[in-house]
Structure 1
Amino acid sequence: MAAALGAYMAHPDPRSAVANTVALVIVSNQPFYPLYIDWAASPVIAPSYLTFLSTPFFAAVPAAMRRSTLLGRALLLSAGIGNTLLCRAAFGSGSGVEIFLLPCLMLALMLFRRLERAFALGFTALAFATYLLPAALLGGPIHLYEAGEYIALQRLNFLSAASLTVLIGWLFSGHLDTISRADETNDVRGA
């Protein structure tokens, strides 16, 4: 099973390999999110079930990457920003779930080559627009948590988003020698 998973996520393009790894780490962590909420914040975990709607999109990133690296990278960012928006609607802004836009912003700026800057800027703008979207447009949250539970949710979401951001930085730092200047300016393999 580990060999099949490794083969599914492998990609010769370093940016694509990072994106595949991030997508599958998210997939592997999504089933635990309700448990984290129960442990850290509240036994009311029903709103977290909506996060599973994005799981197929994250899981499809490596498959999309084989078709087009640009498509795969765009799918990862769309799933991340979309999932954050969905969680914001489910939990409300008091949960601090918008912090997951930070790893999305980091990915938007690091996954695309110089020749793909329009995509980087587009996804960056989309992440900012998602954050700035008025809460009234999303309606009320599925469940109103107590003030202490919201503080616990904010802490949980901060730690989760910070961990994801660190992972992204760590993965990219491991590929610094393979993301060459030529790749950055001229080579658009698989795009």
Structure 2
Amino acid sequence: MISTFKRLTAMARAYAHHPDPRVAAANMISLLVASNQPFYPLYLWWLMSADITAAWFTFLSTPFFLAVPAVARRNSIAGRALLPLAGIGNTVLSAWLFGTASAVEIFLVPCGIIALLLFRPHERVFSLALTALAFGVFLLLHDTYGQPLALYDATEYAALARLNLVSASMLTAFVTILFSGILAQAERSADATGHKKAG
């Protein structure tokens, strides 16, 4: 069991590996999200209701998250762009499935943050376009979803909203810590280069 887990972990790391740290970060985030998606129906069942039918539709986005590293190997920009696009698409789908009372639209915030961090200054057009899409989706679609597929009572919606708020906050924290590490590594490399030149 442990050896199987180690092999799977090694395979995931190899799949996510990329010499470009921003691409590697996108790959890691995408695999983290994909690996957590199977637990979402369990969270709903445990916190709210035995009726978790709507949750199974969220797996429609899983292939897109899993495809990020493969796409990034062919085209770095396309691979990085696919991550926030998959996140935005999954958020829109979830808002239709569970309704805006579920507060699932909060995931548009980390989608926008990820889009801003994944691209370099000369690629800013992509980051700004994806961030604008994330917040445009909220502004334009928030009141247009209609009757959700899943209906819950006020207590259940409160539990679902807490789950989504905590999950989005944890994702945002993970992303910022990840990019803080990338920045620290860049600073160490710059310091090392400066010392070599000074020597």
2: CA distance between counterparts of 1:179 and 1:58?
27
Structure 2 counterparts to residues 64-83 of structure 1, below 5 A: 64-83=71-90
Shift of 1:129: 1.1
Out of 38, 42, 50, the residue aligned to residue 49 of structure 2 is 42
Out of 94, 105, 111, the residue aligned to residue 101 of structure 2 is 94
Identity %: 54
1: CA distance between counterparts of 2:38 and 2:55?
9
1: CA distance between counterparts of 2:15 and 2:131?
28
Match of 1:185 in 2: none
2: CA distance between counterparts of 1:179 and 1:82?
32
Q: Which has the higher contact order (CA 8 A, sep 6+)?
A: 1
Q: Deviations over 1:21-45 (max 9, x none)?
A: 0000011000000001111222221
Shift of 1:130: 1.1
Instruction: Count residues in correspondence.
Output: 181
1: CA distance between counterparts of 2:125 and 2:64?
23
Rg: which structure is higher? 2
Answer whether contact 1:14 1:179 (CA < 8 A) is retained. Answer: no
- DSSP-derived class of the 2:144 partner: helix
Answer whether contact 1:14 1:178 (CA < 8 A) is retained. Answer: no
Match of 1:187 in 2: none
Stretches of structure 2 lacking an aligned partner (at least 5 in a row)? 1-7, 191-199
2: CA distance between counterparts of 1:157 and 1:88?
11
Shift of 1:136: 5.0
Structure 2 counterparts to residues 153-172 of structure 1, below 5 A: 153-172=160-179
Match of 2:196 in 1: none
Match of 2:126 in 1: 119
Answer whether contact 1:103 1:161 (CA < 8 A) is retained. Answer: yes
Stretches of structure 1 lacking an aligned partner (at least 5 in a row)? 183-191
Structure 2 counterparts to residues 1-191 of structure 1, below 5 A: 1-179=8-186
Shift of 1:178: 4.1
2: CA distance between counterparts of 1:179 and 1:105?
23
Q: Which 10-residue stretch deviates more, 37-46 or 135-144?
A: 135-144
Closer/same/farther in 2, CA of residues 16 and 179 from structure 1, 3 Å limit: farther
- DSSP-derived class of the 2:183 partner: coil
2: CA distance between counterparts of 1:136 and 1:22?
29
Higher helix proportion (structure 1 or 2): 2
- DSSP-derived class of the 2:149 partner: coil
CA RMSD, 1 decimal: 1.4
Query: Where has structure 1 moved over 4 Å in runs of 4 or more?
Result: none
1: CA distance between counterparts of 2:170 and 2:116?
18
Closer/same/farther in 2, CA of residues 178 and 12 from structure 1, 3 Å limit: farther
